[in-house]
Chain A
Amino acid sequence: MTNGHVTDWRKAAGAVALLAGAALLPLLISDPARLNFLVLILMAAQMGVAWNIVGGYAGQVSLGHAVFFGIGAYTSTMLAIGLGLTPWLGWLAGGAVAVLFALAMGWPCFRLKGHYFAMATIAVAEIVQILVTNSEFLEGAVGLYLPMDRSGPAAMVFLSKLPYYYIILGLLVVTVLVAWAIERSHIGYYFRAIKDEPEAARALGVSLTRYKLIALSVSAFLTAMGGSFYAQKEMFIDPGSVLATSISIKIALVAILGGVGTLLGPVLGAAILITIEEYSRTLFGSTGSGTDMIIYAAMIILVAVFSPSGVLGLLSDLRRHLPGGGAKPKKASKSAEIRP
């Protein structure tokens, strides 16, 4: 038991160090393009951690998360245009709309198990994309510009990339804290029970649908906030940039690659994925060559076949196999936690 306390302290210290490092990183990097690269990683990480709550912990794989991302982006942007509402409130509104949507969509879709749930989520996201593309109210395929005349903290519009870096870092920290709180609470245990032993969980009186809906709603809320942030950063949204299937795929990939159902796996996955994306772009020329897709698809297949727990799982496996691997007790307590 004391051992557990020690690792807890060690973990907390590690987290604080990581956070301090991330907060100080912009002091070393002043180049806006590099800073933007970091912002992209943090955005992908935030979405991956949010996805992980439903896809990883509860094991309900959504391949339609762009719908929540898009709802967040469109809600805060419409409120800013129509009512001049500050995005700080707008992204809460976006989250709320996303939760309502998650409940409405989860109710029929959660009748499907596993593979078919995943496909149904693609279908839902596709329907919404078609409806928005053809909606005059939302300017359809033309897209929406945020009001350009306002700037400053209240409008969340800045000339420098730096404020965006800290905002998304803050959002990522909030998202990780939510995931962490869920992981440790009884809800987290229910989620894992639903994922690993749905029949047993049902027999013990856990309402599968209720907890799946909770997982999807929390995930949707956080993903929508990521969408609102994207809108603020780009100042322009259209169905292709916030509702496309490719966004859903990317959100899931980040978590899968890093480690499904682990707290910080998606952060690692985001760093890997965005780096591959950027480098293959500079190495092999402009977009459309498909090299980034090939590389990360190959990684996903390898992860699925050889290490279902992602790169993070691969790393801890490696550490265990090294002589005198220090991660042994930690790993043991972790797996005991997951499968009691």
Chain B
Amino acid sequence: MTADILLQVLVSGLLIGLIYALVAVGLTLIFGVMDIVNFAHGEFLMLGMYASFWAFALFAIDPVVALPFTALLLFAVGVIVYQTVIRRILKAPMLSQIFATFGLMILLRGLAQFFWKPDHRLIPHTLVSGNVVLGPVQFGLPQVVAALGAVGVTGALWFFLHRTRLGTALEATAIDREAATLMGIDGQKMFALAWGIGAACAGIAGGLIATFFPIFPEVGASFILIAFVVVVLGGFGSVTGAFLAGIIVGLIEVLGGFLIGPEYKTALVLSLLLIVLLVRPKGLLGKA
């Protein structure tokens, strides 16, 4: 009996952890390539959720079917944000860099509130609605699909970074921009690409989460904090690290919620951040 409950808890933790990993890989990618933290990353996720919602509400397109469009849309948003704002603050003082993406966060939240109202919205039924029963454990199909999607996207990102020419160029820029430039890699293009891919990852995560989570303008706030913990735990800039750390954070959150009480689960995850900083500031797979 208790073993069944524990198994159930572990599986739920794994599922949510994989989604956290997907939100965090985009954040860690952008940081790794250009040393800028995107405070508006949670808002990219929020935009992905709204894109799915409107695709469903206006055109009756299922969020799962809409995923490629959501990804493309957010890729465009990421590139536009880079070209209009980020490009101009690359050499600015750190304070300006923080305020620029921080201002972007508030701007996107405000715009969402203005156009789409602060109401919580739900997509009532999707292709993936329902439950999966597997022996003693039972879980929502949307969560399972979202977790599988997260694994797929993170895997594809890893493959892109390590096995393709363009991805290797991006990695090279992350490691040493000057040297990469000397090899004929266009740094500006790589930065724009990092923002596009980072935003697209958040957008896909949003599209997947929208199948089971309420959609509202400030929804990004809770995810960005957890994504930050994942990035720190995994090691700044490490995609593999973020993947592992996402799972760990998901497990700790669900296990802690089960053992201590659900109201403390976020506090527990955030305390993990402080512990990592004290014990191992470079994270699990961090380079420096």
The reply to whether chain A is a binding partner of chain B is yes
Residues of chain B with a CB closer than 8 A to A252's CB? 102
Question: Does A9 belong to the interface (CB within 8 Å)?
Answer: no
Complexed CA–CA distance, A249 and B99 (Å) = 11
What's the nearest-Cβ distance from chain A to residue B167, in Å? 24
Chain A stretch 157-172: residues in CB contact (< 8 A) with chain B: none
Nearest Cβ on chain B to A116's Cβ, whole angstroms: 7
How long is the Cα–Cα vector from A124 to B269 in the complex, in angstroms? 11
CA–CA, A299 and B104, complex, Å = 10
Q: CB within 8 A of A290: which of B37, B92, B114?
A: B114
Q: Kindly list chain B residues whose C-beta atoms are within 8 Å of the C-beta of A123.
A: 225, 228-229, 270, 273-274
Interface residues in A112-162 (C-beta closer than 8 Å to B): 112, 114-116, 118-120, 122-124, 126-127, 130-131, 133-134
CA distance in complex: A108, B279 (Å)? 9
B267 within 8 A of A: yes
**Count of chain A residues near B, Cβ 8 A:** 45
A308 to B106, Cβ gap below 8 A? no
Which chain B residue lies CB-closest to A129? B267
Interface centre among A63, A130, A252, A260 (most CB of B within 10 A): A130
Residues on B with C-beta less than 8 A from A245 are: 221
CB proximity of B80 to chain A, nearest CB, Å:
13
Chain A residues touching B, majority SS: helix
Question: At the interface, yes or no: A90 with Cβ under 8 Å from chain B?
Answer: no
Contact A130 B266 (CB under 8 A): yes
Taken together as a complex, chains A and B put the C-alpha atoms of A74 and B271 apart, in Å, by 22
Report A-chain residues with C-beta under 8 Å of the C-beta of B113: 288-290, 293
B-side contacts of A73, CB under 8 Å = none
* CB–CB B270/A126 < 8 A: yes
Chain B residues whose CB sits within 8 angstroms of the CB of A291 once the complex forms: 110, 114
Pairwise interchain contact A293-B110, C-beta atoms closer than 8 A = yes
Instruction: Using A126-B225, A130-B264, A288-B118 as known contacts, say yes or no to A304 and B103 having CB atoms under 8 A apart.
Output: yes
A247 within 8 A of B: no
Which residues of the other chain, A, contact B100 by a CB distance below 8 angstroms?
Answer: 300-301, 304-305
Closest approach, in angstroms, between the C-beta of B166 and any C-beta of chain A?
26
CB of B111 closer than 8 Å to a CB of A: yes
Instruction: Report the bound CA distance from A245 to B36 in whole Å.
Output: 22
Cβ of B112 within 8 Å of any chain A Cβ, yes or no, is yes
The 0/1 profile, CB within 8 Å of B marked 1, for residues 89-114 of chain A is 00000000000000000001101101
Contact B267 A293 (CB under 8 A): no
How many residues on chain B are close to A (CB under 8 Å)?
A: 48
B245-280: contact bitstring with A at CB < 8 Å (1 yes, 0 no)? 000000000000000000110110011011001100
Determine if B181 is an interface residue (Cβ-Cβ < 8 Å): no
B-contacting residues, A278-302, CB 8 Å? 288-294, 296-301
Q: Is B125 an interface residue (CB 8 A)?
A: no
Given A293-B110, A300-B99: A305 and B88 interface contact (C-beta under 8 Å): yes
Contacts of A289 in B (CB 8 A): 113-114
A50 at the interface (CB under 8 A from B): no
Whether A304 touches B99, Cβ cut-off 8 Å, given contacts A123-B228, A123-B270, A289-B114, is: yes
- List A contacts of B267 (CB < 8 A): 126-127, 130-131
With A126-B270, A305-B96 in contact, do A297 and B221 touch (Cβ < 8 Å)? no
The residue among A55, A115, A118, A249 with the most chain B CB atoms within 10 A of its own CB is A115
A61 interfacial by beta-carbon distance below 8 Å: yes
Is B94 engaged at the interface, CB distance under 8 Å to the other chain? yes
A297 touches B266 (CB 8 A): no
Given contacts A120-B277, A130-B264, A134-B264, is CB(A115)–CB(B112) below 8 Å? no
- Residues of A near B95 (CB, < 8 A) are 55, 59, 61, 256, 260, 308
Inter-chain contacts of B225 with A (CB < 8 A): 119, 122-123, 126
Give the chain B neighbours of A249 by CB distance below 8 A: 106
Contact between chains at A115 and B36 (CB < 8 Å): yes
B93 at the interface (CB under 8 A from A): yes
Q: Which of A124, A260, A305 contacts B274 (CB 8 A)?
A: A124
Given A115-B37, A120-B274, A297 and B104 touching (CB < 8 A)?
yes
Contact with B along A255-268 (1 / 0, CB 8 A): 01000100000000
The 5 A-B pairs with the shortest beta carbon distances in the complex, nearest first, are A290-B113, A293-B110, A300-B103, A297-B107, A115-B37
Q: List 13 A-B contacts (CB under 8 A).
A: A114-B98, A115-B36, A115-B94, A120-B273, A122-B228, A127-B271, A134-B264, A290-B114, A294-B114, A301-B104, A305-B92, A305-B100, A308-B93
7 other A-B residue contacts (CB within 8 Å) besides A126-B225, A126-B267, A300-B99: A120-B277, A123-B270, A123-B274, A131-B264, A256-B99, A292-B110, A301-B104
| B interface, CB within 8 angstroms of A | 31, 36-37, 39, 85, 88-89, 92-100, 102-107, 109-114, 117-118, 217, 221, 225, 228-229, 232, 236, 263-264, 266-267, 270-271, 273-274, 277-278, 281
